[in-house]
Each structure stands twice: as C-alpha cells, then as structure tokens.
Structure 1
Amino acid sequence: MTDKRHFQAPELGAVNVAPRKVRPMHADEHWASQPWYEAPREDPDVPEVYTYTDAMSYDPGEEVAFHSSATAKTWRLQIYRDGLAPEMVHEVEALDGAFAPTPPDAYRYGCNWPVSHRWKLPSDLRSGFHRVISSCERANGGRFVQHHFFVVRPTEATRRAKILMILPTGTWTAYNDFGGANHYFGVEGPNRDEPSPVLSLERPWTRGMVWLPAGAPRICADPAPEMGDAPRYPMKEWAFANGFGQYYAASGWAQYDRHFVLWAEKEGYALDVITQTDLHYRPELLDAYPCVTIIGHDEYWTWEMREAIERHVEGGGRLARFGANFLWQIRLEENGKRQICHKFKAIHKDPIVGTGQAHLMTSAWEDRNVRWPGASTVGVNGAHGLYASWGGFAPNGQRGFTVYRPEHWVFAGTGLHYADIFGDKQHIFAYEVDGLDYTFRNGLPFPVPAAGQPETIQILAMAPAVLAEDEPEGEGFRYYVRSSDHEGLVECITGEITPEGLARYKYGSGMMVHMTRGKGEVLTAATCEWVMGLKRGDPFTQKITRNILDRFTSSTHEAKA
C-alpha cells in the first residue's frame, strides 16, 4: 500500500489531448444542436484505455473484476480511496493492452469487455469511495486518463462511523451517456435521437462524473447576468470545449458528494459509504447508524429504497438530506446491473402499466398512477420545486435561503433572524430544488395539507423557483430547457396539458424543512448546491450542517419538532 503522505494525483498535468485537427465550423453550430456522448476512438494510432468493474460496491475481502478495452500496448491501473487525504491502495504497472469493440447498444446492454485484472480487496479496507484510474502513454509525452469507481461497503468488522452516506447512484446512472445514451438523450429510436429508458451499469462513466479539474463551471448563473445579456449555460460551453460529458455538471461524485466528504472529514465527522443500489438490495445496512445522509442531486429512487428509508426513520433513525430534485421512480433489474426509467413516456411505454405492479411505473412520484409524493419520505416534493438561478430560470433570483423560523434548533448559534438570507454569497440556492404547496399565515409559511404528506412538516426557510424558462426576447437570445419539462410533468400529474395545469405547476420553491416520523426525524435542505456553502466557507451553512449532524448522531435527544 502506498504511503498516503507521498500521494500524487494521477490526473496531474495535461491529459487527454487529441492530435490537432483543423475542421470547418458552421455558423449555425451550437452545443445544443449537436449533443454528444462519450465513446472510445478505437484507433490504434491514438492510444487509449477504458475500464469498468463488475459491480458498483463490494465488501472488504471480495474480489473486484476489471473489464477493459485498450488500443495501447500497455497501460497502468491505479486505485485510490478518495477524500481529504487520498490514499493509494492498489497499483499495477504495464498491464497488457487488449482491444475489444464497444457494442453500438452498450448503453443498454453493457460493453461485454473481457476481464483485464482481478484484485481481492484487503479484509480491513475502509469503507469509502475508490477512484479507478486507467492510463496509458501517448506520443510526445502525452497521456490518456480514464476514471471509474467502486465503493467499499462497511461491515461489522470495519464499521467506524455514526453517519452512513448514501451515494445517489441512481441519478448518476441516469446522466451517464457513455456508449450512446442516458435517460435524457441518445441514439435510440428510428432517427437515433431519443433517450434510452434502459441503462446498463456494465460500462464506464462518462468523463466528469468521477473526476473534475478545479474550476469546472457549475449549473448556476455566476456571475448573474446584466440587463440585456443573452442567456448563458457555461457548464455546457465548458464541456463542449474541453471534451467532458455534456451532463457532467448535473450529477456525480466530482460535482457534489466529494465536496461534502472533504468538508466532513476536515470537521472530524467519520463517514461510512454505500450506494443506492446497496440501499435497494441491502436495506439492513442502515440498522447500525443513527444518522443517514444523502447529498447533492438525488433525482432517481426505487420504491424499495424509499421503503427502506421510511422504515429506518419510523424506527428511530434520522435522515439528513442536503440535496434536491426528488422526482422519478426507477426500477433495478439483474441485481442492479440495469436501470429502468421511462419518465414522461411511462404511461405509454412502461410494460407494467395495467398490471398488478402498476404502482412501480417509472414516472414521477406525483404521477396520477403512482401517487406517492416525495414529502412522505423527505418532507418535500420535486414537482413543487425545480429550477433556480441559471439560464432562463430566475438567473437574477435569490441565491440563498430566507429564514422564517429562526427559533428552530437547526439555527442555534447562527444569530440568524426572521427574513435573514444565508448562503447567497456562496450561491447555495441553485440548479434544482424541492418544495411544497404552501400558504402564509401571519407572515409564516405553512404546508398546504395533501394526501400522503406528513402533518409534522415545518417549513424553516425557503426561496422561489420556477419550472419553465421565462423567454424574453433579445439580440442573440436562445434558450435550452424552455418549457419541455414543465409540460411533461403537468401531463404526468394531471393526465393532460391544460392552461390550468400549466399555471398550477409553473412556480415552485426550494425549502428547508424538518419533520418527525414515528420515532425518527428528517431534515431536508432541498437544494443541489448546499455543498457550495460548505466548500466556499459560508459560516451559516456550515453551522447549520454541524447542528444537524451533531443532533442526529447524538443518543441523548428525542425526535421533537
């Protein structure tokens, strides 16, 4: 095992630079007019190597099988446990390169590459996120570097934390476009321009989801536009210009979860780590932990995952959710190696519609055929939140939370007052958020009662959000999402697109809420960008996070509002 004091990042220096090639640029070309996905070059004159593992997570002592395709003669494999003090745990020099073609439907059925290496994990290997680095040399001193990952689960022998961190890998999978498609776009359909409702886990991750260089743009209007500025989408422009996945900024370890881990470890909080696939198939892993947390962008869940969380909280567990966009139901098949989500087309395409399993239809949780609002599990709903602070979604809008109940324990020691805003300088309120239908009484927000929504929910802080881009005209203006999500979600929920339905769901909010459930409790800070308050040093966001984690890992308090 390499001494972590001498750890040197494998990504150091310029990597993945293709040979210079002049080509025409047409005046109507734009990143949105030619969506791209990652795939190997498969050119022996431009050496490369790609690797994936036979599972997403393992117990210590289990064997990891690495599947690879390489046009390089030899390549290097490195694995390090990522965190505040990265630790190299396994290295293999000069593996023989063996090329295997990437099937045209690899996104759906997997790459089916041969095993290039096997490694039995040490029996005492700590739980955590492990980056898998495959690299090879190119001409003139260049290098090609590809990133994958696996998670080491905690066991009774290796468990060391009071906090269990669940990685939102259902959402990571939904945005992974390697090989041709994800749940948003792709080469499906007669015109090869449709997303895939079926995604394989037996393929690499698209570039940017596991590792990013410092300074990669986030999904937020930063800086805010001046009057008359054309709408900008810097994350798309940067990805297009630098060879990263077009959805790198929407999901993944590098963009969200890693920032929380670095902050937590620096603050002295020990974390054990599992994936959502583990939550689905091994819900008993929750039992040993007083606090469960999930970070960033957790848009996709299975029915079984939600049942596991609700059982845990009912029995006295606590959920600290610093993330948002609780929106879609998925199904897992083949022991988690395949993910299904038909989204807006579920009522027409999902084969379980009309069967006894129709409640598992892979549509929105608020869909009229599913009817299990996210508030039941996490205190807020995706359909009453959505977008904030980017593109045409309130780009000059509020960037932090407005406090409404400063007397709540979550704000203890912050000195925050009613109507104060925190996190705005660090832009913590952005991209996607979750909320509730609400009303004001005597200056305070209250949830509007709804079926399946716990009565114990308290709204602690909030800010406005929108579901459709406003589209004022201007010189050179062009928009990205526009109203497509708005119309699709309204049709899911109501069964049709009507002016009344569009009006009801056009405006939403992002909220911080607290609720009790059975013997346990839930605190949700429903914004994807909460982690930026931690990374960028906002004292209010940091203190609130410490209050939550300290309370939820303590054995001396009762679950009271």
Structure 2
Amino acid sequence: MDRKSRRTALGVFGVSTAALAGYTFRGGKKSEAAAQSPSRPATAFRAPGSRDARKLLNSWGIPQAGTHLTNDRKPGIHGYASATSVARGGAVDFHVSVDRPQKFTVAVHRIGRQQPSGTEPLASSPALDGHRRAIPEAAAGTGLIACDWPSSWRLHIPQAWTSGLYLAVFTAEDGYRGYTPFVVRDTGRRSDILVVVPFTTYQAYNIWPLNGRTGKSLYKGYKSPGNLGGAPERAAKVSFDRPYHHSGIPAWFELDAGFAQWAEGHGYDVTYASSIDLHQGRVDTSRYKAVVFPGHDEYWSKPMVDSIKKSDADGTHLAFFASNNIYFHVRLEASARGTAGRVVACFKKDNDPELDTTGATIRWRKVIDDGSLAEQGVIGTQYNGIVKTPVPLVVRKSDHWIWAGTGLRDGDELPYLVGIEADGYDPLMPSPTGYRRTLLSHSPYIDKRPDQPPNNLQSTCISENKHGVLRFAAGTFFWSLALMDKRLPSEQVGKVTKNLLDRMVKPAQQ
C-alpha cells in the first residue's frame, strides 16, 4: 500500500499496531441471532495496544507479577533468537543484552493449549551473567541494523516437545523483562493443518531500537533525535539478528497466538513453521490437508509464493485469516556470518540496485507490468485500503455452507469485524486459475488514505476448484483476533472458522 498512509495507520508502537491507530469500533444492524450473541460488545471496542501487553501475556500462561516490561527508551533487557524456527532435537541460541551488569534468566513457554505444567516454563536457564551489548550503527545505503552479540544461552529442543509457537522470556535481576518468539517445527510429521507464522512481516515492522535515535524498519527511521521520519529515513534491509522493539513482542503477534490457542483448544491436528521455512524449502504442502496463515503476512519472497502455488497440484487447501497478504516482494539474504535467511531486503522502488532474476523488491502486483503476479491471483481478493473507523462485516451468500449454524442472513452485520486493513475483489486483477470464487461479505468502509476515493468495499472470499480444493481469505485484520476476544463477534467467527477447517481436514464426501 502507499507507504505514507500505511505509516499513519499502522504505526510502530506496542504489542499491536492498533495502539497507535487508536481506533474505536462502531457496530451496525444485526440479525436476531447476532443480537442475542453473548459475544456482542455492549460498548465501543478498542483493539489491543501496548497497555494490554501484560493482559495478553497472562492469557498465554506467562505470569507477570513483580516484573516490568522492557522499553527501548529506558534501561531494560533485550534479546533475539538465532533462528525463527528450530527442529525438534535441534538447538537455538539466545543473544541477550542487559543495560546494566546483573544476573538474568531465560525461560521458554509454549503458546497454545494449556501445558501440563500450567504456567511453569518448559525450560529455564541457570542464572546468567548479563552485560550491555553494543547497538550497531545502521549500514550506509541500506540502513541495515544487525547485532553481533555473543550467545548467552543455548537451548537444545527435546524430541518430546510439540511443534508450536514458543516465547523466550528474558528476566533481569531487577525485574525488567523482554521477550522473543520462535517456532518449534516438525516438518517430518504429517498433520492436518500447517500454521505458518509471518516472521518476515514481523521484521519489516520492527524498528528496534526505538530509543529516539537509532532504530529503523522498512517503514521508518529517525531524521533527528526523537523525531521519526518516513520513507527517506527507512531501511531497505532489516535483520533478524536484533531484538524486536520495546518488549520484544512483534506487532500483531496476538493474531498468530490467538489462532494457535483457538485451533489447539478445538482439537485440530496442527504443526507450525515460520515464513523462513517456507522460503528455504522446508515446507512440502503435500504433507498437509490445509496450510493456514493466521496473521498479518505481507512480505513474501518468490520461493515462498512458489511453495504455496503448488498446493493446487497437492490438493492442499489454503486459508488466510487476516488481510494485506502477499503484498511486497522481498529477497532473503544471509547474515554477515553467512547464516542464510537472516536479512529481509525490500527496496520498495523500481530502481532496485540489487535486482536479480526474481524481480524488483516492490509490490507483487508491480513486479510484472501487467499485474499478473498480483496477490488476487493466489488468494482470490487483494488489499484495497486502510479502514478509517472499523465497521461491521456485512454478510453475503448466507446460504453458503460456510455460514451454516450461524443464524445469519444476507445483510446481517457482524459488529466491529472489519478493521485496520481490508481486502476486496478487483475485476481488473487476476484470479486463481481454475477456481470458482464466492464473495461472502459486502462491507462498505471509509478508506483512510488521503489520495484514494473514500468509499470502499471489503470482501471475505472463498474459492473452490473442480477437485474441491479451497482457498479462503478473511479480508480483515480482526478475524483471528475475534476467535479469542469476546468483545468481537467470537461465536459467529468461531463457527465459520470451524465450518471451514472441518471441511478442509475431512474429505468432501464425508
């Protein structure tokens, strides 16, 4: 999307980018079934922000008593993992900086269905010596900020651990605490559903250190002390060899965590991978009945796109539970130490100085002039705007099996569900070859971008080919959030999601 408008709408602060957006949601008309739903908010709903970080952490089984969230602008503790995912039986290193010398510990929790140990971590380090590590200067030309901190602790992943979404917790002796996520993968096991966690997009929005002087993301950088600029100051390359800004929890991480909790809580057979696994060829879509992208998954390399395009031939279903997916083309590069996939490059302009055979690192719909690589050709719809004020999702095609059991009728409204960014259908853009598309919603919203017509339409979409292979696109940021947040229409969204996944994991004739 337009970079200036995106910066305004999404921001950089806190657990969720909605913290800066400051959106208050308004509802609309509801059917009798919707109106009687216990999930219907009684008052205006505000999306999670930085002030809700502790509540989110508690919901993930990580108690916060006696601790303080790290903040880049004051002393604390920060760390990063040596990989976005690690296989069972493998090892991951944690690189930690403590702003003043003191002891600290690393604890590892799994986010998902409640573990037998309750809120106890699955692994913990001994007390470790903490030291302040250098913040590197941004590289000339690209703005790359890449740390070269020594390993503070190495975790060997037990073979018995379940594939999933994990959070490393760094706690300093003085009570300050930071975090970093990673995935434990098990690509050797066939599961019904593979969940792909969007680490490339996490890193694109990471502006560590957000200290008033140094940090850069693919959107922003400082043009003077305390004054964040925009595109002229941003980085063209960002590194996984650095913490995530402030507490270390990436922007919109709660979408992926919320889906993990919901899916495991409903008994689905799931395994997990990171977007880097998709890029590096560790994901074979034929091993899964469905591949699910629950979060904001905007930044894709060509190998990532190629890996899911073969899902047609594999008979594998795809589901995208957010919006603005497969939007920017990126290259993944090695770190200075030669570790593959540690740098995300996206110049966002036609004169990419490092152009290779995969094309310029610009929007996918512009890589080829005719727009044939637009995301709608994979997903069925595509990004079409920033939602100024979140609005209801307006139901369409209520006789479709996906709405079964919801009690909803055409024109009914699910309050507050269309927010942050929206997808819609563009008749001038490509469609998935061999698929029949059904638009499941018709939701008017006001586009926040000043250079665009204000009136726009969001569409939730499902496409099906002659073999019954499905592709689903929610078309809004708040779908996965609604699965766990009772202030949103959780009952109806949960039922639709269950209808979809049940159809995906079982043969159509059953």
Common fold: TM-score over 0.5: yes
Query: Which residue number in structure 2 is paired with residue 321 of structure 1?
Result: 320
Query: Which residue number in structure 2 is paired with residue 554 of structure 1?
Result: 506
Residue by residue over 1:68-90, the C-alpha shift from the partner in whole angstroms, topping out at 9 and shown as x without a partner, is 22223211111111223155221
Residue by residue over 1:93-123, the C-alpha shift from the partner in whole angstroms, topping out at 9 and shown as x without a partner, is 3111233211122872411011111222112
CA 451–318 in structure 1, closer or farther in 2 if over 3 Å, else same? closer
User: 2: distance between equivalents of 1:274 and 1:85?
Assistant: 20
Summarize the alignment of residues 126-525 of structure 1 with structure 2, pairs less than 5 Å apart.
126-138=162-174, 143-156=175-188, 159=189, 161-179=191-209, 180-187=215-222, 193=229, 194-207=233-246, 210=249, 251-253=251-253, 255-326=254-325, 327-334=327-334, 335-343=340-348, 346-348=349-351, 350-352=352-354, 357=357, 360-367=359-366, 369=368, 371=371, 372-382=373-383, 385-388=384-387, 393=388, 395=389, 398-399=391-392, 401-421=393-413, 423-424=414-415, 427-437=416-426, 448=427, 450-451=429-430, 454=433, 456-469=436-449, 483=450, 486=451, 502=452, 507-517=455-465, 519=467, 520-525=469-474
The structural deviation recorded for 1:168 is: 1.4
User: 2: distance between equivalents of 1:509 and 1:332?
Assistant: 34
CA 517–360 in structure 1, closer or farther in 2 if over 3 Å, else same? farther
* Contact 2:84/2:199 (<8 A) preserved: no
Residue by residue over 1:257-300, the C-alpha shift from the partner in whole angstroms, topping out at 9 and shown as x without a partner, is 11112222222223211111111112544221101111131222
The structural deviation recorded for 1:192 is: 8.3
3-state DSSP of counterpart to 1:297? coil
Query: Which residue number in structure 2 is paired with residue 15 of structure 1?
Result: 68
CA 55–133 in structure 1, closer or farther in 2 if over 3 Å, else same? same
CA 342–466 in structure 1, closer or farther in 2 if over 3 Å, else same? farther
3-state DSSP of counterpart to 2:83? coil
3-state DSSP of counterpart to 1:413? coil
* Contact 1:313/1:521 (<8 A) preserved: no
User: 1: distance between equivalents of 2:89 and 2:287?
Assistant: 20
CA 324–201 in structure 1, closer or farther in 2 if over 3 Å, else same? same
Q: Which amino acid aligns with 2:395?
A: V
The structural deviation recorded for 1:161 is: 3.5
Q: Which amino acid aligns with 1:428?
A: L
Alignment coverage as a number of residue pairs: 421
Give the number of the structure with larger relative contact order, counting CA–CA contacts within 8 Å between residues 6 or more apart. Answer: 2
Residue by residue over 1:353-404, the C-alpha shift from the partner in whole angstroms, topping out at 9 and shown as x without a partner, is 5xx63x521212222745211111111111xx2222xxxx1x2x632x2222
User: 2: distance between equivalents of 1:518 and 1:556?
Assistant: 12
Whether 2:89 is the aligned partner of 1:61: answer: yes
3-state DSSP of counterpart to 2:285? helix
Whether 2:114 is the aligned partner of 1:85: answer: yes
CA 160–304 in structure 1, closer or farther in 2 if over 3 Å, else same? closer
CA 462–168 in structure 1, closer or farther in 2 if over 3 Å, else same? farther
Query: Which residue number in structure 2 is paired with residue 117 of structure 1?
Result: 153
TM-score (norm 2): 0.76
Tell me, which stretches of 5 or more residues in structure 2 are unaligned?
Answer: 1-59, 210-214, 335-339
CA RMSD after TM alignment: 2.7
Q: Which amino acid aligns with 1:195?
A: R
The structural deviation recorded for 1:556 is: 3.9
3-state DSSP of counterpart to 1:428? strand
CA 184–309 in structure 1, closer or farther in 2 if over 3 Å, else same? same
Residue by residue over 1:275-327, the C-alpha shift from the partner in whole angstroms, topping out at 9 and shown as x without a partner, is 11111112544221101111131222122212211111332100121110122
**Larger deviation, residues 325-334 vs 7-16:** 7-16
Q: Which amino acid aligns with 1:15?
A: H
User: 2: distance between equivalents of 1:460 and 1:510?
Assistant: 10
* Contact 1:182/1:196 (<8 A) preserved: yes
Residue by residue over 1:199-219, the C-alpha shift from the partner in whole angstroms, topping out at 9 and shown as x without a partner, is 001011123562xxxxxxxxx
The structural deviation recorded for 1:543 is: 0.9
User: 1: distance between equivalents of 2:194 and 2:429?
Assistant: 31
CA 121–452 in structure 1, closer or farther in 2 if over 3 Å, else same? same
User: 2: distance between equivalents of 1:297 and 1:209?
Assistant: 17
Residue by residue over 1:153-195, the C-alpha shift from the partner in whole angstroms, topping out at 9 and shown as x without a partner, is 1143xx3731111111121111111131111111479998411
* Contact 1:147/1:207 (<8 A) preserved: no
Query: Which residue number in structure 1 is paired with residue 40 of structure 2?
Result: none
Q: Which amino acid aligns with 1:263?
A: W
User: 2: distance between equivalents of 1:203 and 1:368?
Assistant: 29
Whether 2:481 is the aligned partner of 1:532: answer: yes
Who wins on radius of gyration, i.e. which is larger? 1
* Contact 2:378/2:431 (<8 A) preserved: no
Residue by residue over 1:476-515, the C-alpha shift from the partner in whole angstroms, topping out at 9 and shown as x without a partner, is xxxxxxx3xx4xxxxxxxxxxxxxxx55xx5432211111
Q: Once the two structures are aligned, what percentage of the paired residues are identical?
A: 26
CA 127–368 in structure 1, closer or farther in 2 if over 3 Å, else same? closer
TM-score (norm 1): 0.69
* Contact 2:437/2:464 (<8 A) preserved: yes
User: 2: distance between equivalents of 1:188 and 1:336?
Assistant: 29
Q: Which amino acid aligns with 1:514?
A: I
* Contact 1:111/1:202 (<8 A) preserved: yes
